[in-house]
Amino acid sequence: MAHLILLESSPVMLAPWHSLSAHVLGNGNSPFEVANGKDVWSYAELNPGHSKLINDAMACDARVAVSAIIEGCSEVFDGLKSLVDVGGGNGTSLGMLVKAFPWIHGVNFDLPHVIATAPKVDGIEHIGGNMFECVPKADAAFLMKLLHDWDDEECIKILKKCREAIPRDRGKIIIVRSVIEEDKDDKLEFVRLMLDMVMMAHTSKGRERTLKQWEYLLGEAGFTRFNVKRIRAVQSVIEAYV
């Protein structure tokens, strides 16, 4: 939790909240870009200190979610020999999964400047690249805390690259992200508002999604079926198949 607080309370992340009018007035730039001169990913690439804050915070959050996945639905990893973590950061999530399921060969895939600082871990191969261009081959693609940063068109592009990376006959993707119900009494209703506000401040197009919106993205990306499994966390686990 400390790493997440350090990130969100840093001047770089606080400044966009004072520029929310940029988004409301629709000038085309995210509040983060207005406040810091570049989008959140370009800024992190040029500022190693801030990049480390992001990676440490994401690793802290990942530990909670992955622990819940291992505890609540470990069966999603049955039969997998390889797993590529798309946008895997410093490899914390994948390291936990490979330790829990040692028969899996892990591929940690992220931008080159992120991979450059990722520690070596037995059973994990680090690969740098651009997920909009190509995703390394594996039995399954793992996407956690990733797709909420992008709009529908960009998410579909990412999902299509993941579909190309997995075997057509037995491959799948595993998405760990919030699935917001449309009922007024949904327990995540106020969490969704908070998360959407964070996305508004720090990205230009990010959002949380309902089940219908996930169904649309997956269908447009060429996945024919999917299921959702609730875990002991804000996030759910979505398994999608070609």
Active-site residue set: 148
DSSP-assigned beta bridge partners for residue 184: none
Cα–Cα distance for residue pair 148/46, rounded to 1 Å: 23
